[in-house]
Amino acid sequence: MKTKNYSNKGLAKDFDFDHFIFGKTPTDHMLVMEYSEGKWGAAEIAPFGPLNLSPFTLGLHYGQLVFEGIKAFRSVSGQVSIFRPRTHLERMNHSLERMCMPTIDVEVVLAGLKELVATDQKWVPLREKNDIALYIRPLVVATEARLGVKISSEYKLLIMCTPIRKYYTKPLKVKLERQFVRAAQGGVGFVKCAGNYGGAFYPTFLAQQQGFDQVIWTDASTHTYLEESGTMNIAIYFDGKLITPIGGDSVLKGVTLDSVLQLAVDHNVEVEQRPIAYTELLEYLKGRRRVEIFGVGTVAVVAPISHIEIEGIEYTSYVGGDGFMYQLESWLSDIRLGRTNDDHNWNYYVD
Ligand SMILES: Cc1ncc(COP(=O)(O)O)c(C=O)c1O
């Protein structure tokens, strides 16, 4: 790993952690690693800055671009830890493989990531209020400068960071999407590639124009089974059970979902991962019993859903303060902030 001794100008000291818009302010440094002639070079921590790319850059034309979204937290003891970085980097390798891009050595990139976060750790204050954390965005893009529909022979891995706070501040209103498709079996829905997001913008934009925050996708062939939402997996809590859809290769396997399912199991809550037809959800919603629906993801953490429109009719789901989803959220946050035992070794300490 190449490390230069860059002075940390410490821009974080002027940053207002109480009022900011997510994604606008990079931290001082980024990690850069390049691939050419069949191998990855050394990782380098560099000052955050613009890229110098040819307009012929293949990744700009044919979509060989994958990324990840990870968070780091300052624990109550003052240490900074990254949440499940190996799991995220392993998922990035699945994305790279599917997009015909070179995989990374997880341990090498993890060492670089650790150094990056340690270098910029002033950007991770201890602020339990508003869920302040550091959002980490690894990205790999095809950089060979040459037109032509082909697999690139050169790539750049970048890791950049930016502060993040509680993303959704109120329960969401969503629409069950039964016309447009995000991903189909055999496609790339299970990977975190740029095209999945670009393709989802238009249906989501239409739903937002109708007053919804997000859509919940259904399976491409029958539009019957629930899949996931924009940047979140979804889960239902009903009758003492936590139920979540299986989407095969059309749904991103969320690290947050995996974590909350594990926490539910740890607390003896029954968990079911299986296909969920929207008609089953309708039955729950039409009954008199309480049903909780919520999204889970790195950015969203646990996002309560208060309204869901299915076939033109709006239903309400439970978002009261004693909901099980808030229990899951607090179990998760207790681990991330070091308030409770990290039995599964999810926190990766950088110092
Ligand atoms: C499409 C999609 N589904 C689900 C998730 C949740 O995944 P994770 O919990 O790993 O952030 C994300 C966010 O990364 C996403 O973009």
Domain 2-166 matching CATH 3.40.50.80: the answer reads no
Q: Which of 298, 332, 346 to mutate to test the pocket of ligand 1 (most atoms within 8 A of CB)?
A: 298
* Contacts (Cβ under 8 Å, ≥6 apart) of 18: 130
Pairing of strands 214-218, 172-177: parallel
Q: Which of 217, 231, 258 to mutate to test the pocket of ligand 1 (most atoms within 8 A of CB)?
A: 231
Quickly name the fold that domain 172-336 has.
Answer: D-amino Acid Aminotransferase; Chain A, domain 2 (3.20.10)
Centre of ligand 1 from the C-alpha of residue 101, in Å = 21
pLDDT at 129: 72
- Torsion over CA: 187, 191, 195, 198 (sign): positive
Ligand 1, atom 5, lies closest to the CA of 232
The residues lining ligand 1, judged by C-beta closer than 6 Å to any ligand atom, are: 69, 228, 231-233, 252, 254-257, 297-298
Ligand 1, atom 12, lies closest to the CA of 231
The two structure tokens encoding residue 173: 């209103």
pLDDT at 126: 80
pLDDT at 127: 74
Centre of ligand 1 from the C-alpha of residue 255, in Å = 7
State the first-to-last Cα distance of the chain, in angstroms, to the nearest integer.
17
Q: How many CB atoms lie within 10 A of CB 18?
A: 10
Residue with structure tokens 């818009």? Answer: 21
**What ligand 1 atom has the least distance to the C-alpha of 88?**
10
Centre of ligand 1 from the C-alpha of residue 54, in Å = 31
Please tell me the distance from the alpha carbon of residue 167 to that of residue 303, in angstroms, as a whole number. 9
- The amino acid occupying position 192 is K
pLDDT at 10: 57
Q: Give the CA distances from residue 258 to residues 1, 2, 92, 253, 262, in Å, rounded to whole numbers and listed in that order.
A: 31, 34, 16, 8, 6
Please tell me the distance from the alpha carbon of residue 325 to that of residue 322, in angstroms, as a whole number. 8
Centre of ligand 1 from the C-alpha of residue 241, in Å = 22
* Contacts (Cβ under 8 Å, ≥6 apart) of 54: 145
pLDDT at 14: 84
CB 225 within 8 A of CB 189: no
Phi, psi of 90 (to 5 degrees): -65, -40
Please tell me the distance from the alpha carbon of residue 221 to that of residue 233, in angstroms, as a whole number. 19
Centre of ligand 1 from the C-alpha of residue 219, in Å = 17
pLDDT at 13: 77
pLDDT at 3: 53
Q: How many CB atoms lie within 10 A of CB 294?
A: 30
Cα torsion for 45, 49, 11, 109, to the nearest 10°? -30
Q: What is the pTM of this model?
A: 0.96
The DSSP result for 284-344, as a single string, is HHHSSS-EEEEEEETTTEEEEEEEEEETTEEEE----TT-HHHHHHHHHHHHHTTSS--TT
Centre of ligand 1 from the C-alpha of residue 297, in Å = 5
Ligand 1, atom 2, lies closest to the CA of 231
Q: Which of 84, 204, 252 to mutate to test the pocket of ligand 1 (most atoms within 8 A of CB)?
A: 252
pLDDT by 10s per residue, the chain, length 351 = 655 544 445 568 789 998 999 999 999 999 999 999 999 999 999 999 999 999 999 999 999 999 999 999 999 999 999 999 999 999 999 999 999 999 999 999 999 999 999 999 999 988 777 789 999 999 999 999 999 999 999 999 999 999 999 899 999 999 999 999 999 999 999 999 999 999 999 999 999 999 999 999 999 999 999 999 989 999 999 999 999 998 789 999 999 999 999 999 999 999 999 999 999 999 999 998 899 999 999 999 999 999 999 999 999 999 999 999 999 999 999 999 999 999 999 999 998
| Residue 79 CA, distance from chain mean position | 23
Please tell me the distance from the alpha carbon of residue 333 to that of residue 346, in angstroms, as a whole number. 12
pLDDT at 5: 46
Structural domain boundaries in the chain: 2-166, 172-336
